[in-house]
Amino acid sequence: MRSAATTHDTAQVLWEKWTALWNGDLSQAEQVLATDFTLHVAVVGADEGTVQGTQGLVDWISLLRTLLGGPTFTVQVGPLIDGDLLCGRWQIQGHYAGGMPGATAAPGTPIAFTGTDILRVDNGLLAEYWLNSDVHVMSAQLGIIA
């Protein structure tokens, strides 16, 4: 069941805190994410929805930030706000730090790819996240695929 519409100001603040999380400020996670937060994403070797809860997302962001050497997350479009949904397009840029199974890229290889986030707000917190990112481009840059 969808919650009532989110005010524009609340949505804007949540979006700014969301982008801060991706840029490494994980201290705000509990102020931004619902305890039953769920990520919906196609993950190679895992089921959709594998990443759940505040700590699950913090761990996932931390892993990506480690693999990409502290990347920069830049918003390209958004946030677009519709009722209880936020949407934005982003680009992440970093340098491969090594350690990803199957990757043949040398540490230091530049990595950049884009994606779109759709977030559902419930009771002033981010409750659900649908991620669509260009994993194909990232995998090619890492030398996982040709």
83-133 pLDDT tens trace? 999 999 999 999 999 988 889 999 999 999 999 999 999 999 999 999 999
Cα separation, 9 vs 35, in Å, equals 22
Give the pLDDT confidence score for residue 82 in this predicted structure: 94
pLDDT at 1 (0 to 100):
44
Burial 118-146 (b: 16+ CB within 10 A, else e): bbbbbebbbbbbbbebebeebbebbebee
In the structure encoding, which two tokens stand for residue 42, read together?
């196609």
For β-strands 125-133 and 33-40, DSSP reports them as: parallel
Q: Tell me the domains of the chain and their CATH numbers.
A: 8-141 (3.10.450.50)
Q: pLDDT tens digit string along 2-57?
A: 455 668 888 899 999 999 999 999 999 999 999 999 999 876 555 555 788 999 99
Q: In the prediction, which pLDDT does 127 show? A: 96
